[in-house]
Structure 1
Amino acid sequence: MGMSRKRKFVYFIAIGLSVLYLLWRIFFTIPWGTNLPVLIFGLALVISEVVSNLTAYVLIIFRLLESQSQEDFIIPDYDPTQPVPRVDILIVTHNEDVELLQKTINAATFIDYPEPEKVNIVVCDDGNRPEVATLAAKYHVQYIGMEGNHEAKSGNINHALAQLDAPLFALFDADMIPFSGFLKDTVPIFLRNFRRLEEDPDHTKPLGFIQTPQSFYNADIFQFNLFSEKIVANEQDFFSRDVNILNGHNQTALFTGSNAMFLRKAVDEVGGFPTDTITEDFELGSKINIAGYSSFATTQAQSSGTTPIDLKGVIKQRTRWARGVIQSCQNLHIFTNPKIPLLNRIILINTYLYWWSFLRRLIYIAAPILYALFKFQVVNANFWVLMIVWAPGYFLLHYVLNDASSEIRNERWGEVQETFFAPYLFFPVILETLRIRAKHFKVTQKKVSFSIKDKLYILPYFFMWLVTLIAIVKFNYGKWGAEIMVGSVITFWLMMHFINLSFCVFIAMGRNVYRNAERFDRHVVGRIKATGTDHWLVIHTNDVSDSGLSFTTKDVTQVLKDQQAFEGVIFHGKVPIHFTGKIIRLIQNDAGEVTYGATIVMRAQKDRNHYMQIIYDGSNGELPKEQDAWVTPFDELNMNLTMRLRTLERRVSVFRNRA
């Protein structure tokens, strides 16, 4: 479906007006006559605006260049006339819990393929752990262990690839659980490319890899800490299911570390997984593209994993990504390497500039504060000229950015996320640019781990929030009429940053975690029988988790009681899953229908394997895929304030009762 002429016209007008604004800013508003510190900050502000607009243009232009024909972006079915290739599925583990690794291995054994004997599942363990070798044997999959690995994840993968030879291989992190349709969403695309290479080799680029979206079955730190699990999509969805799809339209999707399928020949040609960076994924994908191979990103998730929700873990993860991308960009010489094609270079530079957005965000926050509190005028402009030149381009450009960003995330929410990461990422980016390396990096721990030190992470947000509030009050105090109007631009920016920082304070405040396991909306039919009875009740599950499920029944001949023990069976396809359980919760609605919550225990390992497949074979439908456009930032702030006041009220009430 192509873009309408009206939308294209609006996009071009937005770019045109913003370019005029930037030209005016560069040539007419820099305070050259002021003191040196103010001048330096003024120049930094102009540079930040130019770079921010350039990155916005890339998104808009890529949206405009999006193919009118969707043929190449529809995943084909298997061609019955083409033999399917052998595939190695690599599950890479470092020191993850065996219980978590077991879920991933179990899911891999359920992946569909026309010729299952051509699929080889390999556990790559650089810890050479006996318990992991035992687990692999239990599931009848290949185990490749190693000792003395000094090259991190890349060393582990390269060591395994040296012992494998399938023409295609898939890669999964230990916590990234594959869905049964993964091969169906990737292998047919390679088969189509193989056929086209045979039919028209002069006009067909070989396909190097396919990246499926990063997907997570638990709420991320933004969704969870802001009580927004039903309102906003996962923070990483915008890149995985939108930006990287656009990159793929230009045949240069980025590799994001897991749940991707590779042409073995392409990886061998570029020397295997790079070992001179901490983001081997980004660098490998880029090398494959530079070597002349295309890459593609799909829209439908075919695996799901865990994302950290403790602030310390999230910051460490993003710091590693930031430093790694800067390292890889330096290794690839993205600005000067003559082998990099134009579109590929634009994507790489845009990715590089993204990690500088956090420094730009701090500059944007500081600029109106400096004027409001200290009268440091870093923009030399008349109010009316500013309104004529700046306002139309700014608001139209942001309207277009919201339109070009699809429904996954709007521009406003993107600013909140940038503000959240800004205090902790700008410094590592600067250090890495100066080639001052971090000495040690660890794999991000996905288990929630909170300590009193985590509360200290709130300090930068609270400080900026407080200073911004003081600046708003001081700048507007005593002003009337025309004074308020003339100062409205400063007030506008202060208020925008104040709202963003309010969100950051709420995120950093955290939220108690009560669930031991995530719930998944899975609707299957089964039956249960209370202990000591012979009557089977037909049940329909509402949601399931590792340790329990909730269900309803229309059979009112027998009412289950709290703490009632039972035995039951549900079905995974045609396979019965036998378990025992105990009722722990009963909730009756106004219509008299009862929803039961129960803990369950599987009778045998086979039952457990199939039950895990029910849970993890698909995305968690409890979490949204798009942002709720009807919920405004003010609604979310009000909701957070209300929820936290209720929590405080409960704590005070408990304290009084104890006293």
Structure 2
Amino acid sequence: MENGLFEWLVLSSVGLLLFYLLSKKFHWSKQVLIILFLSINAIYLGWRAVYTLPTMNTISIIAGVLLLLTEVAGFLQSIVFSIISWRPFKRKHVPLSKLETLPTVDIFIATYNESEDLLKRTIAACTLIRYPKNLVTIYVCDDGRRSSVRELCEEFGISYIDRKDNSHAKAGNLNHALTKSSGEIVVTMDADMVPQANFLERTVGHFSDEEMVFVQAPQVFYNDDPFQYNLFFEDRITNEQDFFMRQLEQGKDRFNATMYVGSNALFRRTALDEVGGFATGVITEDMATGMLLQSDNRKSAFVNETLAVGLSPETYADLLKQRDRWCRGNIQVVRKWNPLKMKGLSFMQKLLYMDGIHYWFFGIYKMVFLLAPLLFLVFNIYSLDVAFDQLLWFWIPAFISSQLMFKAVADKKRTVMWSHVYEVAMAPYMAMSVLSEVFLKKKFKFNVTRKGVQNDRRRFLWVTSLPYLFLAGLTAFALVKVGLYYVYPERYNVNLDVLYINIFWVLYNAMAIILAVFLSFERPRHRNSERFSVDLQGVLNGPEASVSFEIVNISESGARIELDALTLQSYLSNETEFTVSFAGVKDLKVEKKWINQRDGKLQMGLTFTHPTQVQYAEIIRVLFSEPVNAGIEKYYEKAYLTTAMYRFLKRTKKADPTFNRQVIRENVTLSGQLHVDGQTVDATVLDYSEAGCSVRLNRTLRVDQIVKVTTDERELSERSAKICWVRRKGRSRVIGLKFVA
């Protein structure tokens, strides 16, 4: 028996690896890999149901059945994912020339309380969209009824709409705008979503098909989400939503089941009129509206191109609130418009919509997986009862098949391990969302996700982290108890085979729990707008000189530039105001925020001051409408969980204080003394300028203390200074000093 199982393990593993390697070149091998994955996991679940359920007591029987049902539910989701991934599908571009006449277009920018800086960015980009100006009308639909937003619309020459109340939230706002407009095509754009200049060129052509009712472009995010940002893993993983927005939406398009996601979408007005406008009565009006439009054989399309970019939630707490709203909204939709009972939807449309709703139960499933090994190790409650080696014969092929199949079809947009991290992090909250919405049916107020969040210091989200700290504490307690099993085996009656299984299981979960705790450390977000790395040249003009520069990174409010102008360092240090010209932006006034010397070149931080409307629009054109940065498209590259942990621990530190300097410092090594609190301390001066210096010494001092610096250097013969920062370096301390009068 064991020889046969060993042969099964070896043959299945070798076969899976072979077809995975072939899948890099041949699509048919991906399909074989999918079949193998489904077959091996079906065999595993069949074996699990027959041979592994515990029978020693009632609570263990219940735990075992729950775990098995959870695995079956995950397998059902895998079947739907396999169908979506079976054959690649990408809709061909339909040019505007396919239309006999170009339709009129109304662009609705829905807003409630978003900052005017975000709104201004979106408005400016909408005015830059390439389409006959006489055929486009831009409306800001302001449910906040703000006079300042009305003035902003007047400044850009676009239309402003408000209403007396906020009934039905965003859906009501859009429906009200429908009564105040008449365009044949309606575009919905969130306040933070910035369209590119070719947005209409790449989408409107699909309406040449008379049965086409809505076209969806993906939501792409130009900022790092909390998983990327808080874990210092921006360059290794994608935005957590990318997999759905790019991979799953494209797969669903093959079955005319593309989901409307609330923004970056175009609608035929007559079709909206037929279904009564945007759906109301639920907090995910977008999903419901798309499903209603697709009924009765109406067509939808998904254009898988980056045509607009926006902000994903910037704090982990805001991300959880957003997902809580989506989760509850999906359950509300199935109550009001059950896809299984809706007439006019195909079998595949019903299946895909139900699978999308079923997805939100992952929180409950993942909590079962997290608690099952802990219940055994802490309370001796069995969820499975099987020999360790027998489990390996069946589980290892199932695990390998899921890893390789997913890796083959996910196109580096997601990995199994990171899916595990995302689900563990959100599981406690999504489980509560599902249970409260299903059983309590509590009315939920629609809340707009905060955007443009700034904070100056690192903070730990204690309340948010409580479920992770509880799981981490329980895990630590379980592992301590495991140690006691081995030290005092005579005191515990433990099935060693099941013990080994649960030890491995709890360690596997522990990695994701640790990352969830790390995720609760919010990094500071100092800037009010995101910076993009670019490759642009420009000219810096001052009162006495002009110098060429290269832009290192840029946002709508400022830039970091690099200059090959060491001979001008004194001049650039003393001046604070300049004008710059770059990439079509002319004579833009800037203020120097800091200056520094690195690798033989000067770097300067600039803030744009009072740009004109024309200059601002040109900046938005450079950043968004005709983007020059290539950092938006990301993939999973060497995204190991251990690397994420190491990077978090290594990079959790304060920002480099040198980027606050207004003048260049000269690097030196000078012996000197610090006079502080009536004592003299030997110190070494590392650099200095007329504004301040850095010194190294073997004593800890406090920030804001006033000291006196003396050296043999004439400029530092006797200077009073204030301590601005203190940094440990080995056994020494390096302190930053700012000279005072």
TM over 0.5: yes
Q: Distance in 1 between matches of 2:72 and 2:495?
A: 30
Which one of the candidate residues 112, 123, 129 is aligned to 1:105?
A: 123
Q: Which residue of 1 aligns with 2:388?
A: 383
Q: Distance in 1 between matches of 2:330 and 2:558?
A: 41
Deviation, 1:4, is 2.6
C-alpha change, 1:187 and 1:563, in structure 2 (3 Å) is farther
Q: Distance in 2 between matches of 1:453 and 1:438?
A: 30
Deviation, 1:656, is 5.6
1:467 corresponds to 2:474: yes
Deviation, 1:509, is 2.2
Which one of the candidate residues 275, 280, 293 is aligned to 1:275?
A: 280
Deviation, 1:476, is 5.2
Q: Distance in 1 between matches of 2:359 and 2:602?
A: 50
Deviation, 1:282, is 0.7
Q: Distance in 2 between matches of 1:562 and 1:466?
A: 53
1:57 corresponds to 2:79: yes
Match for 1:562: what amino acid? S
Give the structure with higher Rg (CA).
2
CA contact (8 A) 1:469 1:498 kept: no
Q: Distance in 2 between matches of 1:98 and 1:460?
A: 36
Percent identity (aligned): 27
Deviation, 1:513, is 2.5
Q: Which residue of 2 aligns with 1:198?
A: none
C-alpha change, 1:529 and 1:571, in structure 2 (3 Å) is closer
1:40 corresponds to 2:57: no
Between Structure 1 and Structure 2, the one with more strand by share is: 2
Q: Distance in 2 between matches of 1:543 and 1:394?
A: 43
Q: Which residues in structure 2 correspond to 1:319-334 (within 5 Å)?
A: 319-334=324-339
* Partner SS for 2:586: strand
Match for 2:166: what amino acid? N
Deviation, 1:442, is 1.8
Deviation, 1:188, is 2.0
Q: Which residues in structure 2 correspond to 1:555-634 (within 5 Å)?
A: 558-559=568-569, 561-562=572-573, 564-573=575-584, 576-590=585-599, 592-617=600-625, 621=629, 623=631, 625-634=633-642
Match for 1:270: what amino acid? V
C-alpha change, 1:399 and 1:492, in structure 2 (3 Å) is farther
Q: Which residues in structure 2 correspond to 1:418-437 (within 5 Å)?
A: 418-434=423-439, 436-437=441-442
Deviation, 1:325, is 0.9
C-alpha change, 1:8 and 1:497, in structure 2 (3 Å) is same
Q: Which residue of 1 aligns with 2:512?
A: 500
Q: Distance in 2 between matches of 1:375 and 1:471?
A: 11
Deviation, 1:257, is 0.7
CA contact (8 A) 1:303 1:618 kept: no
Q: Distance in 1 between matches of 2:137 and 2:357?
A: 36
Q: Distance in 1 between matches of 2:627 and 2:238?
A: 13
Match for 1:217: what amino acid? Y
Q: Distance in 1 between matches of 2:47 and 2:170?
A: 49
Q: Which residue of 1 aligns with 2:94?
A: 76
Q: Distance in 2 between matches of 1:438 and 1:81?
A: 45
1:350 corresponds to 2:358: no
Which one of the candidate residues 78, 88, 96 is aligned to 1:66?
A: 88
Deviation, 1:364, is 0.0
Match for 2:501: what amino acid? V
1:164 corresponds to 2:181: yes
C-alpha change, 1:283 and 1:603, in structure 2 (3 Å) is closer
1:642 corresponds to 2:650: yes
Q: Distance in 1 between matches of 2:700 and 2:239?
A: 36
Instruction: Report the aligned-residue RMSD.
Output: 2.8
Q: Which moved more, 1:24-33 or 1:401-410?
A: 24-33
Deviation, 1:291, is 3.0
C-alpha change, 1:132 and 1:190, in structure 2 (3 Å) is same
* Partner SS for 1:657: coil
* Partner SS for 1:578: strand
Deviations 1:137-178 (A, max 9, x none): 221112222112311111111111122222211111112121
Deviation, 1:603, is 4.8
Deviation, 1:56, is 1.6
Which one of the candidate residues 144, 153, 165 is aligned to 2:170?
A: 153
1:552 corresponds to 2:575: no
Q: Which structure has the higher relative contact order (CA within 8 Å, separation 6+)?
A: 1
Deviation, 1:190, is 2.3
1:443 corresponds to 2:448: yes
Q: Which residues in structure 2 correspond to 1:392-431 (within 5 Å)?
A: 392-431=397-436
1:124 corresponds to 2:141: yes
Q: Which residue of 2 aligns with 1:368?
A: 373
C-alpha change, 1:163 and 1:514, in structure 2 (3 Å) is closer
* Partner SS for 1:501: helix
- Structure 2 unpaired stretches of 5+: 1-23, 488-493, 656-697, 706-741
In the superposition, the TM-score normalised over structure 2's length comes to: 0.80
Deviation, 1:232, is 1.1
Match for 1:544: what amino acid? I
CA contact (8 A) 2:386 2:498 kept: no
CA contact (8 A) 1:524 1:570 kept: no
* Partner SS for 1:523: strand
Q: Which moved more, 1:364-373 or 1:378-387?
A: 378-387
Deviation, 1:503, is 0.3
Match for 1:550: what amino acid? R
Deviations 1:32-85 (A, max 9, x none): 5521x3322222211110111111221122111334xx5xx2323332773221
Q: Which residue of 2 aligns with 1:27?
A: 50
Match for 1:530: what amino acid? G
Which one of the candidate residues 81, 90, 112 is aligned to 1:94?
A: 112
Which one of the candidate residues 693, 702, 708 is aligned to 1:657?
A: 702
In the superposition, the TM-score normalised over structure 1's length comes to: 0.89
CA contact (8 A) 1:217 1:619 kept: no
* Partner SS for 1:79: helix
Deviation, 1:485, is 7.2
* Partner SS for 1:185: coil
* Partner SS for 1:235: coil
Q: Which moved more, 1:540-549 or 1:620-629?
A: 620-629
Q: Which moved more, 1:10-19 or 1:541-550?
A: 541-550
Match for 1:540: what amino acid? E
Deviation, 1:271, is 1.3
Deviation, 1:366, is 0.5
- Structure 1 unpaired stretches of 5+: 195-205, 648-652
Match for 2:119: what amino acid? L
Q: Which moved more, 1:169-178 or 1:358-367?
A: 169-178
Q: Distance in 2 between matches of 1:103 and 1:348?
A: 34
Deviation, 1:318, is 1.2
Deviation, 1:338, is 4.9
Q: Distance in 2 between matches of 1:111 and 1:16?
A: 50
